[in-house]
Amino acid sequence: MTDLSLSKDKIRFLMLEGLHDNAFKVLADAGYTNVENIKTALDEAELIEKIKDAHFIGIRSRTQLTRKVLEKAEKLVAIGCFCIGTNQVDLDCARELGIPVFNAPYSNTRSVAELVMAEIIMLMRGIPEKNAVVHRGGWGKSATNSYEVRGKTLGIVGYGSIGSQLSVLAENMGMKVIYHDAVTKLPMGNARQVANLDELLANSDVVTLHVPDLPETREMIGKQQLAKMKAKSHLINAARGKCVVIDDLADALQSGHILGAALDVFPKEPKSADEEFESPLRAFDNVILTPHIGGSTQEAQANIGLEVAEKFVRYSDMGDTLSAVNFPNVTVPFKDGTHRLLHIHQNVPGVLSQINLSFANAGINILAQNMMTEGDVGYLVMDVDDGDSAKALERLKAVPETIKVRVLF
């Protein structure tokens, strides 16, 4: 249980996987200098050793923050996923331990949308296979299975921030756009939402996936769904690796029912550039395979570095958890002449009234108070008179349901 906030030079940041320089500039400008920068992901044993003294950890998609790892991170205050996804983190465990998780849900959406748009054009023209033939000395000059995208139908599965942006790009190229989403979404431009996945598959020249990693999206495209796609259509997956059954896609490509595919994510991905990538899709010249680079542009990484590092600073400086993905979202404006206390506790009835009664009995004046709950955790931010912080801290520590408490300033 943390008591008092450390001075900024004592707060330790562990940053993994080659994060953008912008992240380090944000931390330095805010006065945080105790930052370790490691260019790669770490295996479990190394990660457990490194994380035990870290207050903040920044990662991308390779680092796996499992329950086993998190339970060893006794000083950890917050986690930053410098990417869109957070499935590499045990979010429930982090919340139980009082650790908010931040990410950058929108910073690389344009990068992913542009990559997919480029892949649509390449696949429709048959460029991957033609390129491979020329590299081997052949000259397959032919218009067979080569089409313009204008007038063709793009089916988008998942009409969120990436899917909707791709929708606009595709319409600007003259494509018709249909989409399927778990909930009703307002269309961009002339896009049209269809009733179900089967309708989308049957009417699309290209199907592209933009869904989160959920039980219902895992293996959502397998043998049955591929068979329902239009003959000689194309499949793109820049969402999550487990969305597509790779062996079934390989069979559909082998039979010629699926004319081409592009995948940026895979069920099993190498942990480093030294590990060989293995997949049956390597055998197909008509498949574009990229190493999970949908959001890997300089612009996206710069934006992500700024966004997540700024969330770290706001939480460390102010206790602000706005946009945390697993944690109550609380923000309280700064007030001069006050001390701020953060109280993370089990979400059971009566905790707030217990705290307020305890403070009243001790004569502690509460100047501001904001509390929210998320699942089994409650998060309370309180400002008290600057002379009352020591008493307030002791009162909060005495609450039986307390997970973490500290004086922030």
User: For this structure, is 269 an active site residue?
Assistant: yes
User: Which residue of the set 12, 60, 110, 240 is catalytic?
Assistant: 240
Tokens encoding 337: 């002449």
Whether residues 97 and 129 share a domain: the answer is no
315 and 302, same domain (yes or no): yes
pLDDT average, residue stretch 116-124:
98
Last residue within a domain, chosen from 289, 310, 344: 289
Does residue 147 have a pLDDT over 50? yes
d(CA 316, CA 136): 56
* 335 pLDDT higher than 80: no
Query: Based on the structure, what is the number of domains in the chain?
Result: 3
Mean pLDDT of all residues in 148-171: 97
**Residues 311 and 102: beta-carbon distance below 8 Å:** yes
Residue 174 clears pLDDT 90, i.e. is over it? yes
Q: What is the pLDDT of residues 279-309, one digit of tens each?
A: 999 999 999 999 999 988 999 999 999 999 9
247's tokens: 């062996």
Give the domain range for residue 369.
328-408
Amino acid at site 158 = G
> Measured between alpha carbons, how far is residue 225 from residues 29, 64, 383, 397 in Å?
51, 31, 55, 55
Check 269, 310, 314, 401 and give the catalytic one.
269
pLDDT of residue 5: 63
CA 337 to chain centre: 38
Q: Give the mean pLDDT of 183-195.
A: 96
Q: Which residues have C-beta within 8 Å of that of residue 56, sequence separation ≥ 6?
A: 11, 12, 13, 14, 76, 77, 78, 79, 80, 312, 316
List residues bridging with 211 in a β-sheet.
none
Share of the chain above pLDDT 70, in %: 99
Residues 270 and 149 in one domain: yes
Strands (E), 255-376: 258-263, 287-289, 338-346, 366-374
Summarize pLDDT for 21-79 with one digit per residue, the tens: 999 999 999 999 999 999 999 989 999 999 999 999 999 988 999 999 999 999 999 99
Q: Are residues 154 and 285 in the same domain?
A: yes
Is the domain of 62 the same as that of 197? no
Active site residue 192: no
Strands 101-102 and 78-81: parallel
Question: What's the pLDDT tens digit per position in 202-217?
Answer: 999 999 999 988 999 9
Query: What are 245-283's pLDDT values in tens digits?
Result: 999 999 999 999 999 999 999 999 987 788 999 999 999
Both 347 and 373 in one domain: the answer is yes
**Is 135 one of the annotated active-site residues of the chain?**
no
Looking at the structure, do residues 275 and 166 belong to the same domain, yes or no?
A: yes
List the catalytic residue out of 292, 339, 340, 406: 292
Average pLDDT of the chain, as a whole number: 94
**How far is CA 18 from each of CA 31, 155, 167, 308, rounded to the nearest angstrom?**
21, 34, 31, 14
The domain that contains 277 carries what CATH number?
A: 3.40.50.720
Q: What is the CATH number of the domain that holds 350?
A: 3.30.70.260
Same-domain status, 77 and 206: no
**Global pTM value:** 0.81
372 & 401 share domain: yes
What the block records as the tokens of 342 is 């953060």
Strands (DSSP E) contained in 158-301 are 176-180, 192-193, 206-209, 233-237, 258-263, 287-289
